[in-house]
Structure 1
Amino acid sequence: MKPRYLVLAIAWLATFAAPVPAAAQEQRTPVSQCQAIAQNLPKATFASFSGAPALVPAVSEGEDVKFTFLGHSTFEIETPAGIVIATDYNGWYRPATTPDVVTMNKAHPTHFTLTPDPGIKHVLHGWSDVPGEKATVNLVVGDVYIRNVTTDIRFSYGLGGSQENGNSIFIFEIAGLCIGHLGHLHYELTDSHYTEIGRLDVVMVPVDGGLTMGADSMSRVIKRLRSSLILPMHRRGPPVDAFLSMFGKDFDVAYAPDDSITVSMRTLPKKPLIYVLKGVR
Structure 2
Amino acid sequence: MPRLSALILRLLLSVLLAIWMAPQTNAQERIASECLAMAQTLPGVVFARYGPASDKASSVTITYVGHSTYQIETPADVVIATDYNGYYRPPRLPTVVTMNRAHTTHYTLNPDPRIKHVLHGWADDGGAAKHALTVGDVFIRNVPTDIRNFRYGYGYGYDPSAPMQKDGNSIFIFEVAGLCIGHLGHLHHKLDESHIAAIGRLDILMVPVDDSVTLSIEGMSEITKRLRSSIVLPMHRLGTPLQEFVQRVSGQFAVDVRPERSFSVSLESLPKTPTVVILDGV
- Give the TM interval when normalised to the shorter protein: 0.7 to 0.9
**Which residue of 78, 89, 93 maps to 1:83?**
78
Q: TM-score, normalised by structure 1?
A: 0.81
Deviation at 1:189, TM superposition (A): 0.3
Distance 1:249 1:44, change over 3 A: farther
Mapped to 1, the partners of 2:38 and 2:59 lie a distance apart of 21
Distance 1:252 1:26, change over 3 A: farther
Mapped to 2, the partners of 1:31 and 1:170 lie a distance apart of 16
Deviation at 1:129, TM superposition (A): 1.1
Mapped to 2, the partners of 1:72 and 1:268 lie a distance apart of 24
Deviation at 1:255, TM superposition (A): 0.4
CA contact (8 A) 2:140 2:174 kept: yes
Distance 1:113 1:155, change over 3 A: same
| Paired position in structure 2 for 1:148 | 142
- Unaligned 5+ segments in structure 2 are 1-24, 47-54, 152-157
Deviation at 1:28, TM superposition (A): 3.5
Q: TM-score, normalised by structure 2?
A: 0.81
Per-residue CA shift, 1:90-148, capped at 9, x if unaligned? Answer: 001122221110000001110000000000000000001112x1000001000000000
Is 1:100 paired with 2:117? no
| Paired position in structure 2 for 1:244 | 246
Mapped to 2, the partners of 1:253 and 1:38 lie a distance apart of 30
Distance 1:101 1:227, change over 3 A: same
- Unaligned 5+ segments in structure 1 are 1-23, 46-59
| Paired position in structure 1 for 2:187 | 185
| Paired position in structure 1 for 2:4 | none
Aligned with 1:156: secondary structure? coil
| Paired position in structure 1 for 2:60 | 65
| Paired position in structure 2 for 1:130 | 125
Mapped to 2, the partners of 1:122 and 1:71 lie a distance apart of 21
Q: Runs of at least 4 residues of structure 1 off by over 4 A?
A: 40-45
Mapped to 1, the partners of 2:128 and 2:76 lie a distance apart of 30
* Structure with greater Cα Rg: 1
Mapped to 2, the partners of 1:250 and 1:43 lie a distance apart of 20
Deviation at 1:161, TM superposition (A): 2.3
Aligned with 1:220: secondary structure? helix
| Paired position in structure 2 for 1:34 | 35
Mapped to 1, the partners of 2:133 and 2:117 lie a distance apart of 9
Aligned with 2:87: secondary structure? coil
CA contact (8 A) 1:38 1:198 kept: no
Distance 1:116 1:75, change over 3 A: same
Deviation at 1:61, TM superposition (A): 8.9
CA contact (8 A) 1:64 1:263 kept: yes
Mapped to 2, the partners of 1:114 and 1:232 lie a distance apart of 26
Size of the aligned set, in residue pairs, is 243
Aligned partner letter, 1:30: I
What is the aligned-residue identity percentage? 55
